[in-house]
Amino acid sequence: MNINENFLKLEDSYLFSTIAKKVTKYQNENPDKKIIRLGIGDVTKPIVPAVINAMNKAINEMGTAEGFRGYGPEQGYVFLRNKIVENDYQNLGIEADEIFVSDGAKCDCGNIVDIMGNDNKIAITNPVYPVYVDTNVMAGRKENIIYLDALEENNFIPQLPDQKVDIIYLCFPNNPTGVGITRKELKRFVDYAKENKAIIFYDAAYEAFITEEDIPHSIYEIEGAKDVAIEFKSFSKSAGFTGLRCAYVVVPKSVFGYDKQGEKVSLNKLWNRRTTTKFNGVSYVIQRAAEATYSEEGKIQLKNNIDYYLENASIIKDGLKNIGFTVYGGVNSPYIWLKTPNNMKSWDFFDLLLEKADVVGTPGVGFGSCGEFFFRLTAFGTKENSLEAIDRIEKANIL
């Protein structure tokens, strides 16, 4: 067969493999050193008891004649879609048939390209979560991408596109910069989308970490967003489901695209068609697990975990600030985005931090050219390690 040649246009991603290689080499050369890994983008706390109990119950049901379930609805069970609407979209006018339950926001962000026309112009922020770029390159749209630079002088909130685009990918609170977007700033993007008949793909995977009042938990808090935005949410970071796998997409029935004749077409209908054709639903047990995150005890247990990570974030952020670093993020997000000292390249800072403090982070340039001279640390480690990392960085005297 011939291959999809678009795959040959992908840039190789060596970020995490290069980090792993460097760390292994360093550890082999320094076997007695205890390395602290603050580069990790995965949760570490175990699944909370409320979720474990719900899964156990669902597993046992599956072993009984009355409780057995085969294929479920492709869009997700109504019990879960209702819980999502009641809890995450209270008073926002989102309905259960606008929720599509899936096995991950990464897949959803990648699959959404199925319903996009080939000639759309696409705006993607720089630095960025690589999935948005690579999935568009695979679909043959490499030349259609323009980049919105997220710069320090704008607190890493990108400017509006300076030309007409059809699709804008936004992720807030942001990975990797850790910054949140205010309602006022997000409103500018919604207004732009309305004026330009554009659609916003809004990745809200880190919504659960929001602590500040003026940061929206959903793009649908913004007036007009229900006509122009698709939202991606995930239980991965909010409930530690990175290994269990459950997420959802919100496609309001009021969001439309256009065919070649300029006729409006419902994106909810297209996404429903795509989902029922290519997907057979998330497992019953996992959907019961996701449902349990909305129970009273589940909410309390999960808030404890989020608070734990957020405490780590403030330990790292405040600690670095006291040492004299310039730091961003870490307030509405588990990510701390630090400016490398003395205009050091982000890979040079990686080496320095590893050698002087035995601490591993992620070079900002790995997320895009605008990440150069920045460095990402994460709050997903333990409190002890977060404290010790700061202590070591201070003693290493690297400023």
CB closest to ligand PLP, residue no: 104
Q: Which spans of this chain sit near ligand PLP (rule: CB under 6 A)? A: 104-106, 129, 171, 175, 203, 205, 234, 236-237, 242, 247
Least Å from the CB of residue 131 to ligand PLP = 7
Interatomic CA distance for residues 388 and 358, integer angstroms = 10
User: How far, in Å, CA of 213 to CA of 216, rounded?
Assistant: 8
Smallest distance from ligand PLP to CB 247, Å = 4
Identify which of residues 89 and 202 has a Cβ nearer to ligand PLP in the complex: 202
Q: Which is nearer to ligand PLP, 122 or 357 (CB)?
A: 122
* Residue pair 338/350 in contact by the 8 Å Cβ criterion: no
Give the nearest distance from C-beta 123 to ligand PLP in angstroms: 16
Q: How far is CA 136 from CA 4, 114, 115, 249, 386, in A?
A: 13, 10, 12, 18, 36
Instruction: CB nearer to ligand PLP: give 205 or 336.
Output: 205
Q: How far is the CB of 281 from ligand PLP (least distance, A)?
A: 16
Tokens of 115: 């319903």
Give CA angle at 187 (184, 192), nearest 5°: 140
Distance, CA of 41 to CA of 206 (rounded, Å):
12
- Nearest approach, Cβ of residue 24 and ligand PLP (Å): 24
Nearest-approach distance from CB 385 to ligand PLP, in angstroms? 20
Shortest Å, Cβ 64 to ligand PLP: 31
Residue 371 tokens, joined = 């990440």
Are 327 and 398 in contact by the 8 Å Cβ rule? The answer is no
Of 242 and 254, nearer to ligand PLP (C-beta) is 242
Closest to ligand PLP by CB, 127 or 298: 127
Nearest to ligand PLP of 73, 110 (CB atom): 110
Nearer to ligand PLP, 234 or 340 (CB): 234
Smallest separation, CB 124 to ligand PLP (Å): 12
Q: What is the rounded CA–CA span in Å between residue 116 and residue 155? A: 31
CB 211 within 8 A of CB 12: no
Tokens found for residue 280: 């057979």
Cα 206-210-214 angle, rounded to 5 deg: 130
Pick the closer one to ligand PLP by CB: 18 or 242: 242
Q: What angle, 0 to 180 degrees and rounded to 10, lies between the N-to-C axes of helices 383-396 and 346-357?
A: 100
**212 close to 180: Cβ distance less than 8 angstroms:** yes
Measured torsion, CA atoms of residues 278, 283, 287, 290, in degrees rounded to the nearest 10? -100
Do 225 and 200 contact (CB within 8 A), yes or no?
A: yes
Max alpha carbon distance in the chain (Å)?
68
Q: How far is the CB of 342 from ligand PLP (least distance, A)?
A: 29
Summary count for the chain: helices (H), strands (E)? 12, 15
Taking the least distance from each CB to ligand PLP, the nearer of 102 and 386 is 102
Mapping DSSP to helix (H, G, I), strand (E, B) and coil, where does residue 176 land? coil
